Structure 1
Amino acid sequence: MADAVRMLSTLALKGAVQALAGQYQAAGGVRIDADFAPTLALLDRLRAGEAADVVILTREGLDEVAREGRVVTETCVDLARSFVGIAVKAGAAHPDITTEAAVRATLLGARSVAYSRLGASGILFAKLIEQLGIASDINARALIIPQGFTAEKLVTGEADLAVQQISELKQVRGIEVVGPIPRELQTPAVFSAGRMAATKKPAEVDRLLRFLASPAVAPALRESGLEP
């Protein structure tokens, strides 16, 4: 579209991008035509030749496509840090997740835990339950979704706990975020943006990247569950 910038973005930034799109357009920027999916799915789509003007991925994912020449390295900018959290259905008791021992007991006590196969949160959680020595117990009754929002399984009653980036959990109504998994048990994901090498709108994209990396977007990032 001539009047829009085509964006492919990781799901973790969906809330923030949707909140900021109108603000950006009101300030004279072009419309943002965004499509959201986990980083690994977006990498597959980009390598299959899908066109975009700007991408938001994990820093590791962005570095990969920059090395492949798909993204202009000089335009890459870090936008936000994100932590993996745990959520329950609205109104449910909030379990203790303040320590490693508490997280282990909470996970083992759940009827079912929903987590995603793709994306930074799913990869981290799979490693975490291995590290805690409870992978076989949890996976025997887990709901592992290919992609999308794990907290939807709380609303349908299919799971007691949902694990995902806090910014992704907050996209689902009818749930409550208990809090982050203890920080000593996780490494925050860094989400970054860059201009696609093949874009026909470099000036528009560079303006958008400056906006997304500016202090003005910090409130929207925090509101969506991210850290600027």
Structure 2
Amino acid sequence: MTTETNPTLRGISSMATRQVLADLGAAFEQRTGCRVAIESVGGVDAARRVAAGEAFDVVILASDAIDRLIAAGHLRAGSRVDLVRSGVAIAVRAGAPVPDVSSEAALQQAVRNARSISYSTGPSGVALAQLFERWGMADEVRGRTVKAPPGVPVGTLVAR
């Protein structure tokens, strides 16, 4: 944090937490007078910047990325605090029928029936790719998947 009269808390985060951090940052600024500047980018980019030595007061990323940065000496050991649990969601284009995902078998069928599948480069996208592998359908869906570039919200791809 800077030491001037109006200090600034500078941070970097993945896109997954950008809205909640904006809300929390605004509340913190109002209560303390300390300016908050959190840059939300793709998690891969954020980790790369931290590893390259860019200075931040706070780094908000998935736990596995934080652990790798700590192990490599880029973040202070013992400083990790778990803040949120981020779930995985399914979204469909407005007006499109909502698929049945009430069971694993129904979800598999919904994936098979999907014209396209979009997912992030973050932990949820990695988990989804692993799920497709486990189901034996990775090759089947490969031509219909669109991985959002780092920093691009998946929802914008679905909307398009």
Counterparts of 1:205-220 in structure 2, within 5 Å, are: none
Counterparts of 1:11-90 in structure 2, within 5 Å, are: 11-90=15-94
Q: Residue 137 of structure 1: CA displacement? A: 1.5
What residue is the counterpart of 1:144 in the other structure?
A: 147
TM-score normalised over the length of structure 2: 0.88
What residue is the counterpart of 1:100 in the other structure?
A: 104
Give the alignment's Cα RMSD to 1 decimal.
Answer: 1.6
SS of the aligned residue for 1:122 comes to helix
Distance in 1 between residues matched to 2:149 and 2:157, nearest whole Å = 13
1:29-79, CA deviations, whole angstroms, 9 ceiling, x for partnerless residues?
511111112332222111222221110111121122222332222332110
Distance in 2 between residues matched to 1:84 and 1:52, nearest whole Å = 28
Structure richer in strand, relative to its length: 1
Distance in 2 between residues matched to 1:125 and 1:17, nearest whole Å = 25
What residue is the counterpart of 1:124 in the other structure?
A: 127
Q: Residue 14 of structure 1: CA displacement? A: 0.7
Amino acid at match of 2:142: N
Distance in 1 between residues matched to 2:21 and 2:30, nearest whole Å = 14
Check conservation: 2:91, 2:155, Cα contact below 8 A. Answer: yes
1:5-40, CA deviations, whole angstroms, 9 ceiling, x for partnerless residues?
110112111110011111111111511111112332
Amino acid at match of 1:136: D
Greater relative CO (CA pairs within 8 A, separation 6+): 1
Structure 2: runs of 5 or more not aligned: none
Q: Would you say how many aligned residue pairs link Structure 1 and Structure 2? A: 155
Stretches (4+) displaced over 4 A: none
Q: Residue 146 of structure 1: CA displacement? A: 2.2
Distance in 1 between residues matched to 2:123 and 2:33, nearest whole Å = 30
1:131-189, CA deviations, whole angstroms, 9 ceiling, x for partnerless residues?
11111121112212222211112221xxxxxxxxxxxxxxxxxxxxxxxxxxxxxxxxx
Distance in 2 between residues matched to 1:28 and 1:154, nearest whole Å = 39
Percentage identity across paired residues of the two chains? 32
Which stretch shows the higher mean deviation, 52-61 or 138-147? 138-147
Amino acid at match of 1:125: L
SS of the aligned residue for 1:89 comes to coil
Check conservation: 2:53, 2:74, Cα contact below 8 A. Answer: no
